[in-house]
Chain A
Amino acid sequence: MISVRNINKSFDGRQVLFDVNLDIQEGHTQAIIGRSGSGKSVLMKHIIGLMQPDSGHITVDGIDINIIPYAELRKVRRNFGVLFQGGALFDSMDAFENVAFPLRTFTSKSESEVRAEVMECLGMVELPDVGKKMPSELSGGMQKRVALARAVALKPRYILYDEPTSGLDPETSNTIDELIKSLADQLNVTSIVVTHDMHSVLNIADRAAFIHEGRMHWTGTIEDLHASDDKVLRRFVKANEYQIGV
């Protein structure tokens, strides 16, 4: 259970988040949608403590991550797996090493155990034989899948996805969506998907939160989203449908 309470954030005097509230229920897949620059990625970084709010609090499983010391925050973060927009694979390591990295750093597993788990994770993202390749040798979609394998390696309770389908062709986008869905089912994790891709939201999410110009404009289930007559939300959804239609 993650709850975001009255978050305000500004950069260099320009406010990007205004009094944002959000509750993310255990076991759900929560989509955070909005136009580019609406502040949804900033909100996501607040959730894992990569950014500190100017005011407001974020609690993860009842722990206020804004007041605990850094060492404690790092423990809380180990409950999270994060898939960054560009994958953020360590480019000094090959795909196998990337996935093995959290296992080696945070567990005392033997080398053979690590190997077995890495292969399992790579199998889960349907890339069992890219282990020896460097990130630069992989396509954008493959990089994201390896990054996903790395994000789930420690069996996190929460997985955060930052624009998982942006910059990918529709077919690869579908593959990623399927992966997110199957991971949610298999590992029973709480997923938070930050995206502007309505197609993928309708595919994978249970709930959606719409951020407009730094404010939490609308929250509800996917069913509510279809039924909503909010003008701004409808415009956003329609613009996406138009894009998809083309």
Chain B
Amino acid sequence: MILNPIRALGKYSQLLYHAFGALPEFGTYRVNLWQQMMRIGIDSLPIVMLAAAFSGAVTTVQTAYQLVSPLIPRSIIGSIVVPSMILELGAVVTGFILAGRVGARIAAELGTMRVTEQIDALEAMGLNSIGYLIVPRVLAGIVMFPVLYVAASFVGIGGGMLVGHFGGFVPIGEFLEGAREFFQPFDPVFGLIKSLVFGFTITSISCFKGYNTSGGAEGVGRSTTQAAVASCVFLLLADLVLAATLL
């Protein structure tokens, strides 16, 4: 029982080892890379931005609700909302949405290819299936997650600012003044690192789950669920580890 997770970790590392081994064969996955960047990155933009806008707005309203002291200037709302977005929410909201959206999709795709022998067919042709299927997905995750993070943070701050202004909590000018007052230049760098790690975590775990599917349609369903759940769990773990080591 206790050996199973360790065995899984071993298989996972092996898969990653093969994936990195396939990195130089750019020719085999070039077309796939663009396609995956589209699917993982661009196609996820609307939902990520929607969620980010709402989380920014909610953070503003809640911060305003909790600040009742007349001694504290309203600009503090900006000082709280902006770093929250940049440090945590921008990356984590994106991560959770993509764990569901992208993680499940990758696992279902690869799982179906596995059970219908499409992966075997690729291999039998003499293609490196890991290089062809997994490398472009993981690379797309690493490249596009930071892009989505930037979009999420931008829209989230904007959403928080607009709700603050039109909800009568804090005018835009004061919001930005507060945000600039306490801005730490490392915050966005940390957010970028975080989103990059999340991108790698989610795509690699989902690829691992999908690639090692067995047991027909039921197996695909199992892999898909496991991919989404494991992505979320390891995303939280990575979040904590990064915060503990880099902050």
- Interface positions of A (Cβ within 8 A of B): 45, 48, 50, 70, 74-78, 80, 82, 84-86, 88-91, 101-102, 105-106, 154, 160
Contacts and interface: CB of A to CB of B under 8 A. Distances in A.
Given A75-B126, A77-B126, A105 B118 contact: no
Given A105-B28, A106-B125, 19 more contacts: A45-B120, A48-B124, A74-B128, A75-B126, A77-B126, A82-B125, A84-B117, A84-B121, A85-B117, A88-B116, A88-B121, A90-B118, A90-B121, A91-B116, A91-B118, A105-B125, A105-B127, A106-B126, A160-B124
Nearest to B132: A105
Contacts of A70: 128
Contacts of B120: 45, 50, 82, 84, 88
A71 B126 CA distance: 9
A160 B120 CA distance: 13
A78 B118 contact: no
Nearest to B115: A86
For the residues of B in contact with A, the DSSP-based class is helix
Contact of A50 (B112, B118, B123): B123
Interface string B115-151: 0111011011111100000000000000000000000
Contacts of B121: 82, 84, 88, 90
Nearest to B112: A91
Nearest to B122: A90
A33 B13 CA distance: 38
A77 B124 contact: yes
B57 to A, nearest CB: 38
A201 B188 CA distance: 67
B193 to A, nearest CB: 33
Nearest to A49: B123
For the residues of A in contact with B, the DSSP-based class is mixed
Contacts of A101: 125
Nearest to B31: A104
19 contacts: A70-B128, A74-B128, A76-B126, A77-B125, A77-B126, A82-B120, A82-B125, A84-B121, A85-B117, A86-B116, A86-B117, A88-B116, A88-B117, A90-B113, A91-B116, A91-B118, A101-B125, A102-B125, A106-B126
Interface residues of B, number: 14
Contacts of B128: 70, 74
Nearest to A84: B117
A101 B127 CA distance: 11
A82 B118 CA distance: 11
Nearest to A51: B120
B23 to A, nearest CB: 14
Question: Which of A48, A105, A160: most chain B CB closer than 10 A?
Answer: A105
Contacts of B116: 86, 88, 91
The 5 closest A-B pairs by CB, nearest first: A88-B121, A77-B126, A78-B126, A88-B117, A82-B124
B124 A50 contact: yes
A78 B125 CA distance: 6
Contacts of A85: 117
B127 A74 contact: yes
A216 B116 CA distance: 28
Question: Which of B118, B120, B126, B128: most chain A CB closer than 10 A?
Answer: B126
Nearest to A153: B125
B121 to A, nearest CB: 4
A27 B168 CA distance: 84
A70 B127 CA distance: 10
Contacts of A48: 124
A78 B128 CA distance: 12
Contacts of B124: 48, 50, 77, 80, 82, 84, 160
Question: Which of B116, B118, B121, B127: most chain A CB closer than 10 A?
Answer: B121
Contacts of A82: 120-121, 124-125
Nearest to B32: A92
A80 B128 CA distance: 15
Nearest to B22: A70
Nearest to B120: A50
A91 B120 CA distance: 14
A76 B127 CA distance: 11
A91 B108 CA distance: 13
Nearest to A77: B126
